Chain A
Amino acid sequence: MSLRLQLLLVSLLTLVLPWAGCQYVREMEDALRRSHTGALLGNAQAVARQLANRQDLIYPDPRLAEPITGAVSVYQFSLHTSPTLDGFVEDWVLDPDGLSRLYGGIRAVHYALGMGQRFAWLFLQVTDSQVVYATSDSEGDSVLLIMEDSNQELQAYRFSTLAPGQVFPQRSPLHRPWQGGDRETRIQGEWQPTGDGFNLEIRIPREMLGARLGFLLKDQGADGASIGTMDPTRPEPAMIVRPSAELAAALAPYHRPGLLLRVGDRQGWELARYGEIGTPPQRDIADASAWLDRLYQVILGTGDLQRAATVRAGRLPPEASKSALSGQAAGTWNLLPEGDRAVATVFAPIEIAGQAMGSVVVEQGSEAILTLTNNALRRLMNLTLIAVCVAALGLLGLASLLAFRIRRLKNAAESAVSADGRILGGIPGTDAGDEIGDLSRSFAAMLERLRGYHQYMETLASKLSHELRTPLAVVHSSLENLEHEELSDESREYTRRALDGSNRLKRILNAMSEASRVEASIKGAAIESLDLSAWIKDIGEAYQSAYPHHEIRVAAVNRPCVVQASPDLLAQLMDKLVDNAADFAADGSWIRIALSRAEKSCCITVSNPGPPLPEELQGQLFDSMVSRREKKGAKPHLGLGLYIVRLITQFHGGEANAENLPRDGGVIFSITLPLAKPLD
């Protein structure tokens, strides 16, 4: 993994900052919500305390407080329109969930009670796979309605029909309610068959309906079982639960904009409501803020807020009756069923004489994320966001910079030493004060030491020759003096041998210092334009006379090859190459000197049919003190000849190479020199 990638990954750690910010904001959000519900709860409890003194408002009829066993209260909606008696509930303008449900076995009844201007309306939607109509001699499916009249006396009416359509009930005696009797034409119903049962819409004049109402459905089809709001064995209707305008008026003083106050009884029926969960006031924010808001909402989410469960019309949330029964105040936060809005709901029990009699529910709509409504917090979040971006960018920049410096150092270190181990370049960035600078400096120091060692190695020969010259002079001059002394023949012979040896030593020393002298003369060499193609023919002829035992072949291109060079140095280079070739090529064999020309360079080659170059010397053939000679000759060989070739080639900006010819055809040395730029 590259360093840049690693640093990038590390820089991802800065994401901890926004994460921590989110955590902080969430906690803040919690605290805000708690304080919000706390304030609402105070409100609700104040209402509850107030209502505890007004039992008459909650239970205008004392019987309401004592539920009848086995009977279900029917909730009475206020109808603002006047429906048509047609067997359909759609024209009631009710909440679709306004229908209450009863289930029993394979059948179900949905029902609702509405109070209009002149009539009370009861709607039953019966799900029954087998609707049985009455015939002249058998009973069909029938509905029993028992209600209190305005005189608080119970009346029973039985609905049964031969066919769908208009239906009038039969007034039945209370003790045998299914018996039937006279037709009651003031009460009218409409029996409407549906795909999976039937609807029965019943219209009752207002004055006929008292405080209690209940119904039972007798299904003749399957098992003859009954279903309804009353106990089939003892049909007693429960009290009708009616919203109270007086109670609503009593809530008015506690209302503030955006607040919905509701009061419910112990069963969770809504007795009164006041106010609306208003839309929050539009904040005056710029487009950028709106954009940020959306971002925050995505990042923060809505936390642990749940969608509020849909509550049927006329009912309070289930927590309300729980709270009413347990006597405990509570508060929750929920998202509204649609949209991003959240609502805070608090429940406070109304306790009368130590007994919970109902509950107050106060709801207030708000932004889903409260924090966003707080300017200080918003600014904090904005600043955090900016800080995170800056930190991440900074880290990324630093990472890139470090990676760049390390790469540069690596490249420099790689190119500082050439393939054959020579020191070429320097190391950049050694003036930086950090660890990479330290590394660069150690590299540079290492290279410097290496360079020093190299220089020492390359100048070793000349230094050595220099140091040896004086003692050799002592030996030599002594021997020469000795020759003039009276000596026996034997002694004279020894003296002669010693002189020979010292002469050879002298030649060796001269060869050793030659390289350093070439280096010195390179510094003072005069460069001139030289046409190699003419020049190489000249020196070829000269070499033929200098090496009479070899056949010198010269092949040069006819085009001019003009280079910027020092003819003296080039001649010295050719001397070394030809001398080297003559040493390896047996007497009588050929030495080929050739010149070829390319686009921007020309190449001088000297080849001979001698033995191939040993593998282990590849790459260091042109180094100082490297020799591949095996046989010892009279001439000293220190491996400096090709080193001088390299020095001169490098001085001319060229390149020296040695290769074996294919099929053991000999060895070829090539010198590539850049051509001089033609003068305009």
Chain B
Amino acid sequence: MAKHIAIVEDETAIRENYSAAFARQGYKVTGYSDRKQSLDAFAVRLPDLVIIDVSLGDEAEGGFDLCRELRTRSPELPIIFLTALDSELDVISGLRLGADDYLTKDISISQILARVSALFRRVEALSQPVKQEQKLVKGRLELDIDRLSAHWDGKKVPLSLTEFWLVHALARFPGHVKNRQQLMDAANTVLDDHTITTHIKRIRHKFCDLAPDFNAIETVYGMGYRWLEE
């Protein structure tokens, strides 16, 4: 049965374009232009994945409100923000609300498709028994490729999709410097240098929240980052 994706986007052209792209991939797509309309529909039945724009019509942060409401109804529902707002504050707000990813609108359609399918894989993997060989273990770090989840000292690190792939790219070859372009490619996204820095900063924060002595990601000025193995 085809996965059902809901797109909540007030810009008709974008909504229609994404809908067409997803439909081409065999997804079932429904578009909504505002918060109320989408909530009415979600009250009947939740979709399998929701893509939300932050500003919805007159509501400048209607997407955040919608995300909050959906998250209270379903903790597992994959939610992706797709928005023109790209400030650090907006990214952090979105992820803090429990969104699985935060994408800016200059991302290409193929990249979105890749992320959506990755998210679906994670959801599927979570419902299946754990397979040992799909895990990457580096010292205290444990990455589950299928579930796209990360553990440090056995504790779960709440990484977003982009963050997970960044950590994965770094940790796969400890000691190797990954420049920003390589990291971008790994995360399957278009991010400028600065956003990479922001993501790295957030990743460090998340690890430090669990283990204050975390210092496995080193900045190599002018080049990029590398994973340090103890």
Residues of A near any B CB (own CB < 8 A) = 466, 469-470, 472-474, 476-478, 480-481, 484, 506, 509-510, 513-514, 516-518, 520-521, 524, 535, 538-539, 542-543, 545-546, 567-568, 571-572, 574-575, 578
Contact = CB atoms under 8 A, between A and B. Distances in A.
B14 interface: yes
A509 B11 CA distance: 19
Given A474-B13, A517-B88, 4 more contacts: A466-B86, A470-B84, A568-B197, A571-B219
Contacts of A518: 194
Interface string B196-230: 01100100000000000000000111110000000
A474 B17 contact: yes
A518 B193 CA distance: 11
A476 B221 contact: no
A535 B221 CA distance: 9
Candidate in B20, B89, B105 with the most chain A CB atoms within 10 angstroms? B105
18 contacts: A469-B105, A470-B14, A473-B11, A477-B18, A478-B17, A480-B17, A484-B21, A509-B106, A510-B106, A517-B86, A517-B88, A521-B88, A521-B198, A524-B88, A567-B219, A568-B197, A568-B201, A572-B194
Contacts of B195: 517
Contacts of B192: 510, 514
A539 B84 contact: no
Nearest to A524: B88
B106 A480 contact: no
Interface string B88-109: 1100000000000000111011
B105 A473 contact: yes
A476 B108 contact: yes
Nearest to A474: B13
A539 B222 CA distance: 6
Nearest to A574: B222
The 8 closest A-B pairs by CB, nearest first: A542-B222, A477-B17, A473-B105, A469-B84, A539-B221, A474-B13, A539-B222, A480-B109
B222 A478 contact: no
Nearest to B201: A568
A138 B84 CA distance: 151
A145 B203 CA distance: 147
Nearest to B21: A481
Interface string B144-183: 0000000000000000000000000000000000000000
Nearest to A511: B192
B84 A473 contact: yes
Contacts of A539: 221-222
B87 A516 contact: yes
Contacts of B17: 474, 477-478, 480-481
A470 B11 contact: yes
Contacts of B85: 466
Contact of B105 (A470, A520, A571): A470
B131 interface: no
B45 interface: no
Contacts of A510: 106, 192
Contacts of B201: 568
A568 B180 CA distance: 14
A509 B198 CA distance: 18
A469 B190 CA distance: 14
Contacts of B104: 469
A575 B222 contact: yes
Given A469-B84, A538-B221, A481 B106 contact: no
B4 to A, nearest CB: 20
B110 interface: yes
A536 to B, nearest CB: 9
Contacts of B106: 469, 472-473, 476, 506, 509-510
A545 B177 CA distance: 12
Max chain B C-beta neighbours (<10 A), residue from A517, A538, A545, A546? A517
Binding site secondary structure of chain A: helix
Contacts of A469: 84, 86, 104-106
Contact of A542 (B88, B190, B220): B220
Contacts of A477: 13-14, 17-18, 21, 109
B21 A517 contact: no
B177 to A, nearest CB: 9
Interface hub of A470, A546, A574 (most chain B Cβ within 10 A):
A470
A518 B198 CA distance: 11
Nearest to B89: A520
Nearest to B86: A513
B13 A478 contact: yes
A514 B194 contact: yes
A517 B201 CA distance: 14
Nearest to A475: B13
Contacts of A520: 87-89
Contacts of A478: 13, 17
Nearest to A545: B223
Interface string B24-35: 100000000000
Contacts of B88: 517, 520-521, 524
A496 to B, nearest CB: 14
Nearest to B105: A473
A572 B87 CA distance: 17
Nearest to A469: B84
Contacts of A473: 11, 14, 84, 105-106
Contacts of B84: 466, 469-470, 473
A542 B221 CA distance: 7
A600 B121 CA distance: 58
B144 to A, nearest CB: 30
Contacts of B18: 477
A514 B193 CA distance: 9
A141 B86 CA distance: 139
Contacts of A506: 106, 190
Nearest to A480: B109
Contacts of A571: 219, 221-222
Nearest to B55: A470
**Residue among B17, B110, B195, B220 with the highest chain A CB neighbour number at 10 A:** B17
Nearest to A541: B222
A478 to B, nearest CB: 5
Nearest to A521: B88
Given A476-B106, A484-B24, A542 B223 contact: yes
B170 to A, nearest CB: 17
A575 B224 CA distance: 12
Contacts of B21: 477, 480-481, 484
B25 to A, nearest CB: 10
Nearest to A540: B222
Contacts of B105: 469-470, 472-473
A481 B20 contact: yes
B79 to A, nearest CB: 19
Interface in B1-46: 11, 13-14, 17-18, 20-21, 24
A10 B105 CA distance: 71
A666 to B, nearest CB: 21
Nearest to B198: A521
Contact of B223 (A474, A546, A578): A546
B198 A481 contact: no
Contacts of B219: 567-568, 571
A123 B216 CA distance: 139
Contacts of A524: 88
A155 to B, nearest CB: 142
Nearest to A477: B17
Nearest to B82: A473
Contacts of B89: 520
Interface string B61-79: 0000000000000000000
A415 B20 CA distance: 59
B214 to A, nearest CB: 15
Nearest to B24: A484
A474 B106 CA distance: 10
A481 B22 CA distance: 10
A476 B221 CA distance: 34
